[in-house]
DNA sequence: CTGAAAGCGCTTACAG
DNA sequence: CTGAAAGCGCTTACAG
């Protein structure tokens, strides 16, 4: 492979000049530049990224930590992140953590030892202190998992508001017994969903029943377990808000198995609007997140940090949308129950 | 960040010696080694990967080309690949090509310009010549998309055999009118599936009806289109073999919309055994591929190439499994129809 | 067993 | 506008 000296020789200049045209910086004579460019083309020369990395102390690499790529939410997020990185000459190192703090730590060390220029964290189980201790080594952007006091630039949605909307949807349909299946309350994004849920109930004057609230992981299996667990304790509410589509689908699957009719006996609202939401039967009413856009924006934010731009907006909040399908009853029933509610 | 000279100073030796203990090579005095190790620990020293890369002409980076990460098949494949890479000190650069030959070319150039040590390609639309022209820059492993004459080390499954098994399953259930929804026939893995399908029909003395065969992309939408297309031409067969679960689910969704009962009026077999296969209703009978294992094996194969091991097995073929669920009728019906068939 | 020196392929102040 | 030189942080023949 040709190197900078080969190009210099071919163009009859010094490596300094070649370097200048590579970085199209400073004043280089137009004629000289043309010659160098030609030589580069002739030799199919491309500057060595590795050498540039060593010299510039930049790798043009970004580590992206995801808990589980097989979760379609993270896969799509990655797509957004990757497309934006590519558009700006960066590449993505895939870091699948499996929610394992040790792995997270390993990957964070990529930043410490300058193997990447920055990190995007889409979920973490490590302590906040651990993550913070890496801030000094380079920019870290958080997705979803924002922290209360703007410690990191963050792209997220308003989980509380979204959860409120989901719960309110059920309330407006006349439901007064509403369960909550939510992810680990170690994480703000889940505590926020819980708050939105509680706030909606409070606003509608409906008492919260702690027996119908469960925090767990957010996969299909946990959805099934959720339903079984309710069944074996105080019995079922008439509706449930699940904090992920996978959770919601698990609940629906288990309901079918137990011969509980959805939505008639049990209404279900999900969260994310993944493809499975429109595959499951009945199709899932859910909160749509702008997943790819979240990815794109988080990468943009990181790029800004890398460029040393002053970040005016440290927390970017994107809009969600309640997407109504069939898992909470038909539009007609909704109106009917609204009437019932207003007549009370 | 501490560098090798800092460690050398602290341990009272030269950088050469430090380097030797880093690479735990050659004879270093036990006492000296201990001191150096201690100094490294004290300074939280870790050798610079970038500097090592430049010096060793190795990046410890692997590019993995996937067409579309949001397809759960590729997401899970990636997980397998990533876990194996991590276990061997390599990192993965995510290359989402969107089936775009230009992007594929861009990513292949990572190898040419030594930004990665090797490449795993899980699907490509570029010409074979294009891909081949990059072989001289470093090892390339193919997943699934094997080529006839062992041009690249490959990990795959026997698509023909699997398609034969799927089709035979339908034949044994008594079906004699069987459609085929398959991916682009530009790719061997799809031509193989088609061959398996034809072979099964031939072996059972059933004539092939070209009207019931369609090649397209393999997403949900194409599944829906497939059914509509059949409906608007010669009418429906009694069964269809779809070359991906997404295709199969699309077919089932469209069938529901058109009030065609699955499996009674139309039996469907899928391919991959993704999570959606057990979410759709009726649950999908499908061919299970050992996805994560394919990922792991392909990375191992690449690692072997990198180590200069002579590859004895250039094409690794993993087993698939027909997984029977509800989209082709019950076990009982299967036996009944078997009897019918044998009595003919 | 250990060290001095060269070199991997760049960039950039410094001089001219 | 252009070049010589130093240096990014390593590894490895070569000497001793």
Q: Is the pLDDT of residue A340 over 50?
A: no
Protein-covered nucleotides of chain C (CB closer than 7 Å) are 1-5, 7-13
Q: Is the pLDDT of residue A335 over 70?
A: no
Using the C1' atom of nucleotide C12, identify the protein residue whose alpha carbon is closest. Answer: A16
* Chain B interface with A: residues with Cβ < 8 Å: 1, 46, 48-51, 53-54, 59, 61, 64, 68-70, 72, 75-76, 78-79, 82-83, 86, 91-96, 103, 106, 109-110, 112-115, 220, 249, 253, 275-276, 279-281
Residues near A109 by beta carbon (within 8 Å), at least 6 away in sequence = B46
> How are beta strands A321-323 and A285-288 bridged, if at all?
antiparallel
Cα angle vertex B221, ends B184, A66, to 5°?
A: 90
Q: What pLDDT does residue A341 have?
A: 46
Measure CB to CB from residue B114 to each of A48, A76, A275 and give the nearest one.
A48
Which positions 28-57 on chain A have a beta carbon less than 7 angstroms from any atom of strand D?
28-29, 31-33, 51, 54-55, 57
User: What strands lie across the sheet with B285-288, from one edge to the other?
Assistant: B213-215, B178-182, B239-242, B267-272, B285-288, B321-323
Q: What pLDDT does residue B333 have?
A: 52
Please give the structure tokens belonging to residue A169: 């949807």
Instruction: Report the range of poorest mean pLDDT among A79-88, A188-197, A260-269, B331-340.
Output: B331-340
Residue B52, number of CB atoms within 10 A of its CB: 18
Buried b (16+ CB within 10 A) or exposed e, B60-85: bbbbbbbbbbbbbbbbbbbbbbbbbb
CA B332 to chain centre: 34
CA A108 to chain centre: 18
Mean residue pLDDT of chain A comes to 91
Reported confidence tier of residue A225, pLDDT bands at 50, 70, 90: very high
Reported confidence tier of residue A27, pLDDT bands at 50, 70, 90: confident
- Alpha carbon distance B93, B82 (integer Å): 10
Q: Select from A74, A88, A91, A295 the residue whose CB has the most chain B CBs within 10 Å, as the one to mutate to test that interface.
A: A91
Q: Is the CB of A59 under 7 A from strand C?
A: no
Q: What pLDDT does residue A186 have?
A: 85
- Alpha carbon distance A185, A182 (integer Å): 8
Report yes or no: B215 and B184 within 8 Å, Cβ to Cβ. yes
Residues belonging to chain B: 344
Which positions 197-236 on chain B have a beta carbon less than 7 angstroms from any atom of strand C?
none
> What confidence tens digit (pLDDT) does each residue in B44-63 have?
999 999 999 999 999 999 99
- Say yes or no for a CB contact (<8 Å) between B83 and A96: yes
- Say yes or no for a CB contact (<8 Å) between A220 and B275: yes
- Say yes or no for a CB contact (<8 Å) between B70 and A72: yes
Q: What pLDDT does residue A146 have?
A: 78
- Pick A133 or A331 by higher pLDDT: A133
In this prediction, residues A269-274 reach a mean pLDDT of: 96
Contacts of A253 in chain B (CB under 8 A): 279
Identify the residue whose tokens are 């800092």.
B6
CA→C1' distance for B49 and D10 (Å): 9
Measure CB to CB from residue B48 to each of A114, A249, A281 and give the nearest one.
A114
Protein-covered nucleotides of chain D (CB closer than 7 Å) are 1-5, 7-13
CA→C1' distance for A17 and D12 (Å): 31
What percent of chain A is helix, strand and coil (3-state, nearest 5)?
A: 50, 15, 35
- Alpha carbon distance B81, A157 (integer Å): 31
In this prediction, residues A279-303 reach a mean pLDDT of: 96
- In angstroms, the separation between the Cα of residue B265 and the nearest Cα of chain A is 19
Please give the structure tokens belonging to residue B259: 């009030």
For chain B, list residues with pLDDT below 50: 331-332, 334, 337-344
Which residue of chain A has the CA closest to B282?
A281
SS3 call for A144: coil
Q: Which nucleotide is nearest to A27 (CA to C1')?
A: D1
Residue A204, classified by CB atoms within 10 Å of its CB into exposed (0-12), middle (13-18) or buried (19+), is: middle
Strand-pairing partners, residue B197, are none
Measure CB to CB from residue A94 to each of B70, B94, B109 and give the nearest one.
B94
In this prediction, residues A145-161 reach a mean pLDDT of: 88
Please give the structure tokens belonging to residue A100: 């394992």
Using the C1' atom of nucleotide D7, identify the protein residue whose alpha carbon is closest. Answer: A55
Identify the residue whose tokens are 């959606």.
B276
SS (H, E, C) chain B: CCCHHHHHHHHCCCHHHHHHHHCCCCCCCHHHHHHHHHHHHHCCCCCCHHHHHHHHCCCCEEEEEECCCCCHHHHHHHHHHHHHHHHCCCEEEEEECCCCHHHHHHHHHHHHCCCCCEEEECCCCCCHHHHHCCHHHCCEEEECCCCCCCCCCEEEECHHHHHHHHHHHHHHCCCCCEEEEECCCCCHHHHHHHHHHHHHHHHCCCCCCHHHEEECCCCHHHHHHHHHHHHCCCCCCCEEEECCHHHHHHHHHHHHHCCCCCCCCCEEEEEECCHHHHCCCCCCEEEECCHHHHHHHHHHHHHHHHCCCCCCCCEEEECCEEECCCCCCCHHHHHHHHHHHHHC
Measure CB to CB from residue A93 to each of B54, B93, B109 and give the nearest one.
B93
Q: Tell me the helices (H) and strands (E) count for chain A, helix number first.
A: 13, 12
In this prediction, residues A178-200 reach a mean pLDDT of: 94
Contacts of A249 in chain B (CB under 8 A): 279
Q: Select from B40, B60, B69 the residue whose CB has the most chain A CBs within 10 Å, as the one to mutate to test that interface.
A: B69
- Alpha carbon distance B135, B141 (integer Å): 10
SS3 call for A261: coil
């Amino acid at each position: 492979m040709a190197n900078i000296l080969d190009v210099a020789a071919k163009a009859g200049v010094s490596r300094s000049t070649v370097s200048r045209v590579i970085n199209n910086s400073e004043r280089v004579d137009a004629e000289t530049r043309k010659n160098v460019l030609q030589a580069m083309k002739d030799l199919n020369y491309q500057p060595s990224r590795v050498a540039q990395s060593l010299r510039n102390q930049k790798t043009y690499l970004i580590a992206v930590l995801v808990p589980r790529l097989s979760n379609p939410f993270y896969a799509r997020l990655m797509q957004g992140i990757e497309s934006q990185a590519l558009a700006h000459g960066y590449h993505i190192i895939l870091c699948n953590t499996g929610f394992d703090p040790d792995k997270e730590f390993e990957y964070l060390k990529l930043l410490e030892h300058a193997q990447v220029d920055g990190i995007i964290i889409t979920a973490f189980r490590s302590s906040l202190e651990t993550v913070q201790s890496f801030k000094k080594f380079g920019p870290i952007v958080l997705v979803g998992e924002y922290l209360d006091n703007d410690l990191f630039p963050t792209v997220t949605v308003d989980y509380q508001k979204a959860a409120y909307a989901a719960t309110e949807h059920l309330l407006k349909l006349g439901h007064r017994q509403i369960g909550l299946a939510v992810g680990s309350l170690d994480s703000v994004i889940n505590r926020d969903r819980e708050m939105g849920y509680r706030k909606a109930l409070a606003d509608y004057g409906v008492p919260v029943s702690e027996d119908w609230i469960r925090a767990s992981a957010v996969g299909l299996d946990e959805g099934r377990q959720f339903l079984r667990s309710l069944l074996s304790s105080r019995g079922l509410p008439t509706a449930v808000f699940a904090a992920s589509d996978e959770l919601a689908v698990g609940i629906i699957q288990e309901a079918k198995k137990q011969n509980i009719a959805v939505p008639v006996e049990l209404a279900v609202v999900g969260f994310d609007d993944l493809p499975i939401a429109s595959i499951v039967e009945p199709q899932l009413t859910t909160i749509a997140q702008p997943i790819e856009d979240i990815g794109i924006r988080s990468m943009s934010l990181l790029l800004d940090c890398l460029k040393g731009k002053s970040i005016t907006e440290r927390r970017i909040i994107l809009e969600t949308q309640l997407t109504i399908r069939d898992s909470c009853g038909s539009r007609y029933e909704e109106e009917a129950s609204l009437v019932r509610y207003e007549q009370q």
